[in-house]
Structure formats: structure tokens, C-alpha cells
Structure 1
Amino acid sequence: MKKINKIFSSKKSMPLDLYLEKVLYDKNIGYYQKKNPFGKKGDYVTAPNISNLFSEMVAIWLVSFWENLKKPRKFNFIELGPGNGDFCLTLLKTLKNFPDTYGSINIMLYEKSNGLKKIQKKRIISKKVKWIKSLKEIDKYPVVFFGNEFLDALPIKQFAKINKIIFERHVALKKNKLKFFFKKAIKKQIDKLKTYNLLKNDGIIEYPEYGFKELNIINTKIKSLNGGALFIDYGYNNMKKNINTLQSIKKHKYNNINENVGEADITALVNFGLYKEYFNSSGLFVEEIISQSKFLQKMGIVERVKIASNKMTYQNKLNLYSRLKRLIDPQMMGEDFKVIFAKNKKCKFSLAFK
């Protein structure tokens, strides 16, 4: 309760996204600031934690994209939200098999959590890697941004359309209890929703204002320096109804969003259709949104598993195929996780997306 009181010490109520920003990222009480949420002992696992083959496939995709960019002498690879560092470690190891790409790459890690940054710095020892506080620090060389489960961790706004009137969800603390309520939305916010035709249907409308602020900088860098952005996340392309997708996870189980504040993760499903519309309207181009399963299989993960398992014991082989299934099976992560690639309009690179 002390944590919740700190959140509301200066305000009686606040919009949902501001509340989420404090609960997740506040330096003193934020969920991501003080603990390692990954692995069996944490709250959840991500694809790089499940198998390094996931990271290998992204690394090979990156090599191909670098070649398509005409092999620039130097280029920046920016990982957004590097987690516990698993992806970066596999990326470095894989790229050593491609010395030209390895020689050209500068790896930048963009991490908001001081706690996770400490974990990353203990694990990742390489002159190729540096941590940046702001994406605005990037000022030269082509850029490739990558985020695995980055977008879903960004705070969202929620609106409700009821009888043609638009309301925004707010959060308040009353009698030591969290109260979620709707308040009539201001015109500025309604105009933003109209831009993306989000008011077509009634129900709960989710709008990633924080995400768009981050992507505005990414867009600018891609357009001025050349490159692209690859995102893989849990979400949907087109949803027939507007619904509330906000969820809380603790110890690999769903958690009541009102409980364990600052001790449990809170995320929302990524509206990939909306992000595609955003990119395409801001001067970049998204060709197609595909499933994680399609992306990994197009990049050759099944063939890689067959080769890797040749000299394995039966038990190790079983373990490897079990991890592969988790990544590509439609009933597991294969279909629920989507992949989006934003690039300059003149770029013809479409590996894995066709």
C-alpha cells in the first residue's frame, strides 16, 4: 500500500497511461526497476530465454538486411528493452561467424530500467556494445532497431465509446483502494483517435501514446540515416471488437491488476494493425504483418534444429524440439506473436515477409 500511496502523493487521480508509467518505470517503486522478471524464478520468459535459436534467426536476418543496405562500413543496431541480455549475447556469438558484419556493427542497448541495466552490464562484456539513455544520441550511420516484447511493455491509454460519447480511463486511490473509472475525454485526445479511425466501433479503445512518442524518434532516425525497425510481440492484427487487453502477470500466472502493484508485470496486447497504419502514415513502409512462426520458419529455424540435433543425446534432442515447438506452434507462441518490419519506402528488402 505504501507504493500506491507514493504514486498518488501529488495527484488525486491520473490517466491510465501515466499510472502504468509510474507502476512500471518509476525509479523507486517501478516493477522493471528493482527486479529481474525473467526465467523460472521470475514472472515470465521471452523467446530469447526459451532458445538461442530465436536470436540466431534474427541475427541472420540482420546480416541479410545489412547486405541489402550495401554493406555500410559502420551501422548501428539498437536493441530496445534488452531484458536480461540473452538476445544480445547470442547476437554477438552468431555475428562472429559473419566477420564483415561483425566488423561493421555498433550495438546500442536502450534500457529504461537501472536494475536490468546492471544485470546486462554484468553479463555482456564487449567493446562492440554500449548503453544509451536516449534514442536521440544516435546521430550517424544507418540504423536497425529491434524490439522483442518491447511494444507491449509501453503504457497505453484506454478510451470507451458509449452512445457516441468518448471517455478516457483514469485511476484514483480512494480509501486505500485503487479505483478505475472513466472521465469524459478532451478534444485533443479524441482527435488523435479519429486520425486512426479508432472510433468506428463501441467498446474499449486502446491507444499507445507512449509507444508513438518513442516511434516518432525511431522514424526520424530511419528516414535521415537509412535503415529499418523490426518488432516481435504478443498481439493481434485486426480485432473485430474493441476490448480491454490489459493484463497482469506474476510468477507465470495471471494476476489481479489491482493487486501486487509494483510487484507484477502489466502489459497490453499490441495492435499491429494500428502500428502498421502509424508507420505507413509517417513516411515509412510496412509490407505485411506475419506470425512469429512464419518468420522463424522462413529464416530456417527448422533446418537449423535438424542440424544442431544430429549429434545430440535423445534427451537433449527432445528438449531442443520442445523449445522449437514452443516458438513456432500456432497453439503456443507461433501465432499469437506477430512480426512487423518498418523500412524506407524505396527499400526492397523483404526477407521472411514474402
Structure 2
Amino acid sequence: MTLLNKFLKKSQTVPIDNFLDNVLYDDQNGYYSKKNPFGKKGDFVTAPQISTLFNEMIAVWIISLWEQFDKPKKFNIIELGPGDGKLCKTLIQIFKKFPKFYKSTNIFLYEKSKFLQKVQKKNIREKRVYWLKKSNQINKGPVIFIGNEFFDAIPIKQFEKKNNFLFEKFIEIDSKNKIKLILKKTSKANYKELKKYKNIKNAKFIEFPKKGFEELNWITKKIKELGGGILLVDYGYINLENRSTLQSIKSHKKNKLFNKIGEADITSLVNFGLLKDYFINKKFSVNDIVTQSFFLKRLGILTRAEILSKKMNFREKSDLYFRLKRLLDPKYMGELFKVIFAFKSKKNLSLGFK
């Protein structure tokens, strides 16, 4: 049964986020449930696949945070949406070089796709790594959540304001199995929810991560319980776009939206200004939102690259700096990708942000 046929059996109209949730995460036919989308043979690459320098900087940041928390004997690291496990694998290799720190850590992976869980278990053969099923698995010590390109993959709602009325975008399947977008007047519950956020108060077009905020609700609850924070790195914007940012990617190229359902990735740009509003509403401390380039440079990525390059031949150096350029250059990931850190602590946790 195709995804569209399965969808038609349930309903012919559905909010965009519910439709995308099925398209991406359906247990049998969902995009993330039947293939490994990462790397050259997949549909896209992320920073951990581009260069281990990115992974090293995240490791440096985590270890420094542990020190700022006064080196607790229990320290929990949770990677959100760990992909093929590349980041986690590198983190463990680096953590092992700091025995006292590594002894204190529990590493958890939070992954919705059962298929990708299998990929991760194959790539990460480490007894100290656990796959998180319930939040009560973590009950002692500060918790640090890390999400690299986690939030963009969570389906969003879309709203439009017309004549002082708020409408939500729905997906409709016509008699010929063609997909089209329609507007329906939104519910009072949605209207009430949107009013909580300054970032979208006067917007005429709104992308709202309701499902993403549902994920953050249990995450922030756990952080409030044990202390700690959440670091999110993703492509996105701070000032409102006032347009649809939904995009589809297939084989490293842009794909027509809603074409090749279940075979192509569909994501959206992350509204970091809205994310900051969310965390402030939860009474979290939030550093200024910075670009990926700013964050990695503050952590010392250029110095690290220089040290590594001294032992390399010309070809290896060229490859190193080409990959570094992809991470830092404004034409690539440097400016488009943003970084936010929200936390519950009396300490000034600003490494990488000032």
C-alpha cells in the first residue's frame, strides 16, 4: 500500500504537519523508516559527515560544560536525532581521552526511526550508549541535549492571516490522487497557542512547530528537574520570512515539493527567534543566537585545523580546508546555520556565544 493510498483511507484532508509526519515517519513506508539518507549515496550530508572538526568542537564544548558544572560524577548527554551515528562515534573517541570525564558520562540517543536505530547500533558499538525510550531512564545528574539538524526534520504547521481571520493550511487529495493545499479556519486552541509568542505576533504568514514544541516540552521538563541545557544547531532564520520554507531534497538536489512522496526528504527552515521565545516562556536562560561559523570559530576550530594541517601532505590539507570552508563560509553552512543554547543554571554558560 502506498503512502497516499494509506492516507486516503483515513482522510482526504489533513493539516500539513500530520501529513508530513506520515510521509516521513510512517513505520513501513515513511522516508526515514526504510533507508539511510545520509552521505554521498543518500540524499544529503550534515556537518558531522562533512568534517570531524565539527564533531571535535562539539566534544570540546561538552567537556567544558562539564567543567563549568563542577565536574559532576553523573553527567548525561542526549543526542537528538543522531542520524547515522557519526557525531556520537567521534564524541566517544574524544571522550575516552579524558578518563575522569568519560567515567562520569551516560550517553543516550533519541531516535524515532527504528530503521535508523539499526544503522546507529551497527556504527556505534559501545556499551555506554543507550537508546532513550522514556525520559525516566535519566534520573540523576545534569542533562545536556544536543540536536544537530534535529528540529528542521520535525513537521510544521502553516497559517495565514486574512481579513483578521487565521487560517491553517491543509493537504487535500483530489479524485486523481493529486495533492493540493487548501485553507481552513483554524481552531481556537491554535489561535490561543500562537498568541503566546512575540516573534510571530504581527506575522501574516506563520510556520509553527507544534510537534517540535511537543518534543521540547518533555526535554525542558527534564532539564528543569535535573539541571542542564539544550544546544540546537540547524539551518534557519531569526527574522520572520513571511513565506513557506518547506523544501524537498532528493539525491543532494532540490526536489519539487510533494513529488516522490516517501522517497525524498521534506524539511523547513527553523525559526530561531520563535525558539528563543519558547525557551524564555519556559523561564530558561538563553544566549544570543549565533551563526555556526561564529560558534565554531569561538571554540577554536581554525586553530585545530592549523595544528592538524602541519602533519598533512598537500592533498590532505586541501581536503581539510575544503571541508572547513563548507562549515564556515557564508556561501555554504556558515551563515545559514544558526546555534542556540538554552539552559537552567545559575552559572554563566556562554562558551561559543561570546
Q: What's the TM-score, normalizing by structure 1?
A: 0.97
CA contact (8 A) 1:65 1:349 kept: yes
Q: Which amino acid aligns with 1:296?
A: L
Q: Which residue of 1 aligns with 2:296?
A: 296
Quote the offset at 1:186 in angstroms. 1.1
Q: Which residue of 2 aligns with 1:145?
A: 145
**SS at 2:152 equivalent:** helix
CA contact (8 A) 1:112 1:133 kept: no
Q: Which residue of 2 aligns with 1:243?
A: 243
CA–CA separation in structure 1 for the residues paired with 2:77 and 2:187: 39
Quote the offset at 1:345 in angstroms. 5.1
- Cα offsets for 1:236-292 (capped at 9, x unmatched): 1113x4111011110111111121001100001000000001001112111210000
Q: Which amino acid aligns with 2:296?
A: L
CA–CA separation in structure 1 for the residues paired with 2:45 and 2:322: 15
Q: Which amino acid aligns with 1:275?
A: L
CA–CA separation in structure 2 for the residues paired with 1:73 and 1:11: 51
Quote the offset at 1:348 in angstroms. 1.1
CA contact (8 A) 2:150 2:234 kept: yes
Q: Which residue of 2 aligns with 1:44?
A: 44
Q: Which residue of 1 aligns with 2:202?
A: 200
**How many percent identity over aligned positions?**
53
- Cα offsets for 1:88-115 (capped at 9, x unmatched): 0100011112111111110000000111
CA–CA separation in structure 1 for the residues paired with 2:138 and 2:103: 19
Q: How does 1:1-354 map to 2 (within 5 A)?
A: 2-175=2-175, 176-197=177-198, 198-202=200-204, 204-239=205-240, 241-344=241-344, 346-354=346-354
CA contact (8 A) 2:227 2:345 kept: no
Quote the offset at 1:207 in angstroms. 0.4
C-alpha spacing 1:136/1:182, structure 2 compared with 1 (3 Å): farther
- Structure 2, gaps ≥5 residues long: none
CA–CA separation in structure 1 for the residues paired with 2:7 and 2:105: 41
CA–CA separation in structure 2 for the residues paired with 1:102 and 1:339: 25
**SS at 1:118 equivalent:** helix
**SS at 2:10 equivalent:** coil
Quote the offset at 1:347 in angstroms. 2.7
Q: Which amino acid aligns with 2:258?
A: N
Quote the offset at 1:8 in angstroms. 2.5
Q: Which amino acid aligns with 1:280?
A: I
Q: What's the TM-score, normalizing by structure 2?
A: 0.97
Give aligned pairs, total.
352
- Cα offsets for 1:128-166 (capped at 9, x unmatched): 101112334322221000000000001100001112111
C-alpha spacing 1:136/1:274, structure 2 compared with 1 (3 Å): farther
**SS at 2:195 equivalent:** helix
Q: Which amino acid aligns with 1:330?
A: P
CA–CA separation in structure 2 for the residues paired with 1:70 and 1:114: 36
CA contact (8 A) 1:283 1:345 kept: no
- Structure 1, gaps ≥5 residues long: none
CA contact (8 A) 1:110 1:132 kept: yes
Moved more, 130-139 or 212-221: 130-139
Quote the offset at 1:187 in angstroms. 1.1
CA–CA separation in structure 2 for the residues paired with 1:128 and 1:59: 16
- Cα offsets for 1:209-230 (capped at 9, x unmatched): 0111111111111111011110
CA–CA separation in structure 1 for the residues paired with 2:9 and 2:201: 34
